[in-house]
Amino acid sequence: MRMKKLALMLLSSLSALSTIGQTHTGDPKLSEVWTPVPAVITPGKTAQDAPSDAIVLFNGKDFSAWTGEKGKAIEWTIADGAMTVKKGSGMITTKQGFGDCQLHIEWRTPSVVVGDGQGRGNSGIFLMGKYELQVLDNFNNATYSNGQAASIYKQLIPLANACREPGVWQTYDVIFTAPKFGENGRLQSAARITVIHNGVLVQNNATLWGGTEYIGIPEYKPHGAKEPISLQDHGNPVSFRNIWIRPL
């Protein structure tokens, strides 16, 4: 009985193989696609440098791409090619809105360690002004997992803690898919995010639950297809540099 079953399995695999074989004969040109032709761009010298089709949001010199909270003048400081949070002055926000995008941003928490948990080197990148990719000094600093560096705050725990030590520059490379809303503001597809932290994959096309909430369960509230990005003032002098974005 067992032999018969085995023979039947073998026969069915052979027939599957021959079917596959048939579809792979003929003119290989029939499966070539020549249009559209992807745009030719010049990549940066290194993977951290902006490619030719990127929008540079901060080149180390000025806040020309940004506005202060509620339209106020920006009080964050710029020195040595980096911007630094000024405690109590509020978040800063891009003038331009973005939806689906690739974002590169570098950040540094203070070399002099002050505080612990969420009070140590805390800032954040609010994609579309609503979805926080956490920035935190998590080098030998315990906090709740869904609030640590590279988490989507209070939603998605990162796959690894890839933090460098305080005072050292770190990179985030983010691929973000904006949520889509249909008629009557109904959610059609949730936001998704991939994050590479210092070269390490820490969010893998993960699905967001909704807008970031400090208290309670996140939920989606309808918004535009493109919304500005904000950087958080959480009271710690966190620095940022080399920020560029490619709308997708």
Binding site for Mg ion (CB under 5 A): 122, 124, 232, 234
Of residues 50 and 148, the one with the C-beta less far from Mg ion: 148
Smallest distance from the beta carbon of 38 to Mg ion, in angstroms?
Answer: 36
Q: How many helices (H) and strands (E) does the chain have?
A: 1, 15
**What are the structure tokens assigned to 160, written together?**
């690894």
Smallest distance from the beta carbon of 32 to Mg ion, in angstroms?
Answer: 48
Of residues 94 and 232, the one with the C-beta less far from Mg ion: 232
Q: How many CA atoms lie within 13 A of 156 on its CB side?
A: 25
* CB-count burial class (<10 Å; 0-12, 13-18, 19+) for 23: exposed
Smallest distance from the beta carbon of 87 to Mg ion, in angstroms?
Answer: 14
Beta bridge partners of 227: 98
Of residues 218 and 247, the one with the C-beta less far from Mg ion: 218
Q: How many CA atoms lie within 13 A of 188 on its CB side?
A: 10
| Beta-sheet pairing, 66-68 with 170-177 | unpaired
Of residues 122 and 239, the one with the C-beta less far from Mg ion: 122
Of residues 50 and 206, the one with the C-beta less far from Mg ion: 206
Smallest distance from the beta carbon of 122 to Mg ion, in angstroms?
Answer: 5
- Assign 125 to helix, strand or coil: strand
Smallest distance from the beta carbon of 134 to Mg ion, in angstroms?
Answer: 5
